[in-house]
Amino acid sequence: MSRPPSPRRPPWLWVPSAYLAEGIPFAMVIWVAGTMFKDLGHSDGQITLATASIGIAWSLKPFWAAFLDMYRSKRFFVLAMEALMALLLAGIALCLPLPNYFQITIALLWVLAFASATQDICVDGIYLTALGEKQQAAFIGVQGVFWNIGRLFGTALVVWTAGSLQQQHGLPATSAWGWAMGLSAATLALLAAYHAWMLPGGSQAQRPKGVANVARSFVEAIVDFFAKPQIWGMLLFVFFYRSSEGLLQIEGPLFLQAAPEAGGIGLTLMQKGLIDGTASTAVSLVAGLLGGAFLARHGLNRKTLVFMALCLNLPHITYVILSQLAGPGHGLSLWMVAALVSVEKFGYSFGFVANMLYMMQQVSPGRYHMTHYAFCTALMNLMLVPTQALSGPLADHLGYRAYFILVMFAAVPSVLAACLAPFPRQPGKHRPA
C-alpha cells in the first residue's frame, strides 16, 4: 500500500533550516576541527592533511546517491543522518580528554562526513523535486545564505564558546571544546526534531526488485549522466570553478589564528568568533541574497557566470594584504582584519551561488536529477580535497606571504572555466524530473 503524499510546505518554512543543517556539519569537519586542533597544539600540516582528506567523503557521493533514489523517502534519510550526526558530535565531545583523542576524533569526523554527504544528497533532492526552476532561482540565494549561517554557527558561535570558556571561565582547552562540541550536537538534534515535523518528503522512487535491477539502475544513471550534451565542458567548469578557494578555505582561518612570530595575525578564539559572528555574518547574508537576486533578474549565462567568477576570486587579494602586513611588531587592529576578511566573505558568498545554479539547471536536469546533482557536487568537492590537503604543508614551506600570492595565481583556472563553460540548456524550457 502506497503512502499518501506529504503535504506541501511553503519553502520559507524548510529551505532555510534544511541548508542551515547542511552547513553545520561541513563547517565542523572542514573549519572548526582545524581551529580546535590548532588550539590544542597541532601544526598546520598535520591539521590540513588529516581534515582535508576527510573531505573526500563529499566527493564519493555518486557511489551511493543512486541507491538513495531507490529506497524510502529523501526525508527519511535526512532525519536519520541529522540524528546520527548529533550523536557523533556528542561522541567527539566525550573523547577529547582521552590521550588518543586525535585519532578517535578523526575517525568520528570521517563517519560524520559520510553522514553529512548523505544528508546533502537528500536535502538537495528535496529542493530539486519540490521546487520548480523559478523557485530554485529565487531560493538559490536563500539556500546559500543559510548554508553559510550553518558555517558561521560553527566558525563563530562554536569557536567563540570554546574561547570564552577558556578566557573568561578558566576551563582547560579540552573541557571548553567538549562543551562547544556539545552545543553543535544539541543544535543538530533540535533541527532534526523540527524537520520531522516540517520537511517535505521529496519524490519517492519505485524500489527496483532484485540486485540485478539495482545494479542496472545505477549503471543507467551513470550512462545517462555522461550522455548529456557537452558534458565534459560542463564538468571542467564544475571541477575548476573553486580551484583557488580550496587553497584558502582551511589555511585562511589557520593563518588568522597563527602567532605573529610565525607570520600570522595572532587572533584569539574569541576574536575569531567575533569576526565570523559579526561583520562576516552580515556580509555573507547580504552577498548570498544579492547573488540569488542578481541571477534571478539577469539569468545564468556566460556573462553573468564570468562576472560572478571574478567576484568569487578577486577578493582573495585581501589575504595577500593581510599576510604582507602581519608579523612580529606589525600590530593590526581587529577592525582592519575584520574588514578585509569580510570583503573576502562577501565575494565568496556572492560568487558561489552561480556554481550551484549552473549545476542545478545545466548539468543535472533529467531522469536522475538528484543523482546527477550529487555527481556534480562530488566533483566540485573533489577539487577541494587535494588543494585543502596541500594548503598546510605549502604554507609551512613557503611562509604565509608567498603562499597567499600563490592562491591568487590559482584563481586563473577558475575564471577561465567560467569563460569557457557551455550552456546546452535554454533557461525555463525544462522542469526538474
Q: Which fold has domain 11-420?
A: Growth Hormone; Chain: A; (1.20.1250)
345 neighbors 406 (Cβ within 8 angstroms): no
Q: How confident is the model at residue 202, as a pLDDT? A: 61
Per domain, the residue ranges of the chain are 11-420
Burial class (CB in 10 A: 0-12, 13-18, 19+), 254: buried
Instruction: Give the separation between CA 243 and CA 238, rounded to whole angstroms.
Output: 10
Q: How confident is the model at residue 39, as a pLDDT? A: 93
Among the ranges given (36-50, 103-117, 136-150, 175-189), the one the predictor scored with the smallest mean pLDDT? 136-150
pLDDT in tens, 40-63: 988 888 888 888 788 788 878 777
**pTM confidence score:** 0.71
- The set of cell numbers assigned to 66 is 543512486
Residues sharing a CB contact under 8 Å with residue 362, sequence separation 6 or more, in sequence order: 234, 300, 422, 423, 424, 425
Burial class (CB in 10 A: 0-12, 13-18, 19+), 252: buried
Q: How confident is the model at residue 66, as a pLDDT? A: 67
Residue 330 has pLDDT above 80, yes or no: no
DSSP state letter for 11: G
pLDDT in tens, 194-228: 999 989 876 555 555 555 676 777 788 888 888 99
Per-residue pLDDT band at 2 (split at 50, 70, 90):
very low
Q: How confident is the model at residue 203, as a pLDDT? A: 55
